[in-house]
Amino acid sequence: MKKFIETLQNIWKIEELRNKILLTLGLLFIYRVGSNVPLPGVDIATLEGLKDQTDGGLAGLLNAFTGGAFSNASVLALGIMPYISASIVIQLLGLAVPSIQKLQKDGESGRQKITQITRYLTIAICLVQAPGYIFNLSQLGVASVLDPAMFNVLAVITLVAGTIFAMWLGERITDRGIGNGISILIMIGIIASFPTSVIQEVIARTSSGGGLVAIALEFVAFYVVIMFAIALTQAVRKVPLQYAKRNAVAGQMASRPLGREYLPLRVNASGVMPIIFAQAIMFIPITVAGLGGGDATGSNWIVEYFGDITGFWYNLVFAVLIIGFTYFYTAIQVNTNNIADDLKRNGGFVPGVKPGRATAEYLDEILSRITLPGAVFLAFLAILPAFAMQVNMTTQWAQFYGGTSLLIIVGVILDTLMQIESYLLNRHYDGLMKSGRLKGRSTANVI
């Protein structure tokens, strides 16, 4: 406890870090307030049908991602997911469209243009999703005190503006706050439902006769899953390196091994992005189906096969998407050609491997091998809630057993803590751990 208090004091002493954290908390507070502001004209007394729809299934998961804004018919009901969907489309286009590829290689100016294109695409996606959301409200009996035509126009404009505002908040957190703003907005929405989920599960277990023993076992299992998620997020494979040192007298290069010089390749280099991307894709079928506008008993096969998060086909497609996006995002994040070129310029090489192209191929082979088990394990953790619900856990509580919710929370928190730790170490303060490094950055987690 003393170490923790000292760390908080050190964080507060660094003015830049303190301002970033305060700004982030302030913007998150604004986001949470907006999640509870209803659309203009909505009769909040008629929201029971919408709340019942979001008690479980894919709609319930979407509601968790928006921090309850979806079930509140809030101005932020669409959340940040349209922006995530737009980002996926742009990154996929980068593989096939030469103009997008050129922008990706143009440095900061290209990144800014891609960001602008992503924003425009986000608006286009919102203009498709907003009418679907409003249609869903009408199907569920949500009433409006305004003229229907006026309400529809006003609601579409408000929902689009709400997503743009959420996108702006995320970008401000990334630029001037601490951490990845978009991921933090998703995480804070998920965390908002955690206390309610725990209370509902305790009530359900005590009322069914399970008692404190069942609750204790669930929390032990929850702790184990968290440890596995952290291990997956932080595990790395170290590739030994050597550097050539010029002999000033002979003018020749002499190889010298540096005992603890390694190139760390992460088992899960893509972090939580495959989960977020795959989940965004899985939201598409239920959006197309009109979010309740079809017959979920059989005639609407989209809802039948992809509306049930415990179903076989939903989890199979979800797992395959996660594995695919893990490889895709890892290829984007880790450029083995650039790593090989940097090593060659600095006189570095992998023992037994020729510098240059041979090194890039060697690193790519290693990365492909370690990414496969990481991707499979990531997919397994993502579909764990389906198994948890089979043992009669409440839907909201089961989503924290692995699954999208827990993995996003763990990944975002660790990334944010690493940024905070870097500020502490740069100012010569102790880090967040006794060793001065986060646990995942030590050799203990190397596989």
- pLDDT at residue 291, rounded to an integer: 47
Contact between residue 279 and residue 383 where contact means Cβ atoms under 8 Å apart: no
Sheet with 252-266, edge to edge strand ranges: 252-266, 236-247, 348-349
pLDDT at residue 237 tops 80? yes
Longest Cα separation, the chain: 89
Lowest-pLDDT choice from 101-110, 281-290, 293-302: 293-302
SS3 6: helix
More confident residue, 447 or 201: 201
More confident residue, 345 or 117: 117
- pLDDT at residue 259, rounded to an integer: 45
Instruction: Tell me what the mean pLDDT of segment 270-275 comes to.
Output: 80
pLDDT tens profile 372-419:
998 998 898 888 888 888 877 877 788 787 667 787 888 888 888 888
- pLDDT at residue 257, rounded to an integer: 47
In 67-199, the DSSP E strands lie at none
- pLDDT at residue 290, rounded to an integer: 54
- pLDDT at residue 247, rounded to an integer: 47
More confident residue, 109 or 208: 109
- pLDDT at residue 244, rounded to an integer: 67
More confident residue, 423 or 83: 83
- pLDDT at residue 433, rounded to an integer: 54
pLDDT tens profile 14-40:
888 889 999 999 999 999 999 989 999
Q: Kindly report whether the global pTM for this prediction surpasses the value 0.85.
A: no
- Percent pLDDT > 70 in the chain is 85
**DSSP letters for 368-426:** HHHHHHHHHHHHHHHTHHHHHHHTT--HHHHTTSSHHHHHHHHHHHHHHHHHHHHHHHH
**DSSP letters for 129-160:** HHHHHHHHHHHTT--BSS-HHHHHHHHHHHHH
Choices 1.10.3370.10, 3.40.47.10, 1.10.10.10, 1.10.260.40: CATH for 193-447: 1.10.3370.10
Secondary structure of 318-384 in HEC code, one letter for each residue? HHHHHHHHHHHHHHHHCCHHHHHHHHHHCCEECCCCCCCHHHHHHHHHHHHHHHHHHHHHHHHHHCH
More confident residue, 1 or 82: 82
Instruction: Tell me what the mean pLDDT of segment 77-97 comes to.
Output: 85
SS3 45: helix
pLDDT tens profile 166-188:
999 999 999 998 888 888 998 89
- pLDDT at residue 155, rounded to an integer: 92
315 burial class (0-12, 13-18, 19+ CB within 10 angstroms)?
buried
Choices 1.10.3370.10, 1.10.10.10, 1.10.3720.10, 2.40.160.40: CATH for 21-192: 1.10.3370.10
Beta bridge partners of 265: 237
- 262: CB partners within 8 A, 6+ apart: 238, 239, 240, 241
- Percent pLDDT > 90 in the chain is 16
Mean pLDDT of the chain: 80
pLDDT tens profile 34-77:
998 999 988 888 888 888 877 766 677 778 888 888 888 899 99
- pLDDT at residue 248, rounded to an integer: 45
What is the location of CATH 1.10.3370.10 in the chain? 21-192, 193-447
